[in-house]
Amino acid sequence: MRFDVVTLFPEMFSALTQWGVTGRACEQSLASVQLWNPRDFCRDSRKTVDDRAYGGGPGMVMMAKPLDDTVAGIKAAHRDAGIESGPVCLLSPQGERFSQKIASDILKLGNLTFVCGRYEAIDQRFVERNVDMQISIGDFVLSGGEIPAMAIMDAVIRLIPGALGDGESAAQDSFMNGLLDYPHYTRPEVYENLSVPDVLLGGHHAKMADWRRQKSLELTLRLRPDLIESARANGLLTREDEQFLRSL
């Protein structure tokens, strides 16, 4: 999976490319992250990428030309490498709310370009000319698109076969089956007078699977009932699941 990222702060992405699961995936060439700074495509001595907004208002607006030229440079690099360019994605509060399903859909693309905005906004003419999709990670405001881009990339890279030490880890993550994950325990068996549930100590795999499924349903109903309704609508709940939910 290849990510091209348009950002004024490429240094921020070392947190993704040099550490943890995502860092190992980049080191093993399971994922690649190419960083592109619009200032490198500016032709004036000050490397200007923003200006005042027409009509007034607070803050500055990122100019269309440097971003246009940056995206053109990315597509040229793709052509030179024999790579088909994927969509251009803007991190924006106007975008579709990010989800595990979208992470899976992005992985299928093989290549995606992120545009990380800064300042008050991006010139709408760049958006209309270049952006194919917009994604939001929630209804709140950040200083730029870098952190949302890294969050999305982390979620996608985890899904790449071989990125995690255990191939089952991603399949058992929260949201993969439409529900929250079940509780997890490790040693010691008793901590501060709290014991690991007996079912997890007995070695009966079928009983452990049933317990985990029920705990997942119970937690989801209590903390995110909206996910229960969504799972039901998408046919992800079994007859046994429905019987257990009615018993709660």
Tell me whether residue 139 is one of the annotated catalytic residues.
no
pLDDT for res 102: 97
pLDDT tens-digit series, residues 79-113: 999 999 999 999 999 999 999 999 999 999 999 99
Residue 132 is a catalytic residue: no
In sequence order, which residues have a C-beta less than 8 Å from that of residue 142 and are 6 or more positions away?
148
Max Cα-Cα span within the chain: 70
Q: Is the pLDDT of residue 174 over 70?
A: no
In whole angstroms, give the CA distance from residue 23 to residue 46: 34
Half-sphere exposure of 131 (CA within 13 A, CB side): 23
- Whether 161 is a known active-site residue: answer no
Query: What domains can you pick out in the chain, each with its CATH number?
Result: 2-157 (3.40.1280.10), 174-247 (1.10.1270.20)
Q: Which residues make beta-bridge pairs with 52?
A: 60
Q: Please give the average per-residue pLDDT across 222-237, as a whole number.
A: 94
My answer on whether omega of the bond before 10 falls inside 30° of 0, hence cis, is no
Give the residue-averaged pLDDT of 42-68: 95
Closest by CA to 156, choosing from 138, 141, 137, is: 137
Is residue 241 within 8 Å of residue 213, measured between CB atoms? yes
Percentage of the chain lying above the pLDDT 70 cut? 96
Q: Which of 69, 120, 181, 210 is catalytic?
A: 120
User: What does the pLDDT read at residue 34?
Assistant: 98
173 included as an active-site residue: yes
pLDDT for 165 equals 75
pLDDT the model gives residue 166: 66
Decide if 50 contacts 60 (C-beta within 8 A).
Answer: yes
In the set 4, 38, 158, 241, the catalytic residue is: 158
Q: Which helix (H) or strand (E) holds 147?
A: helix 146-157
d(CA 126, CA 42): 15
- 154, 173, 210, 218: the active-site residue: 173
Q: What is the pLDDT of residue 172?
A: 56
The mean per-residue pLDDT over the stretch 216-223 comes to: 96
The pLDDT confidence band at residue 173, using thresholds 50, 70 and 90, is low
At how many degrees (to 10) do helices 146-157 and 100-109 cross? 80
Provide the mean pLDDT of the chain.
95
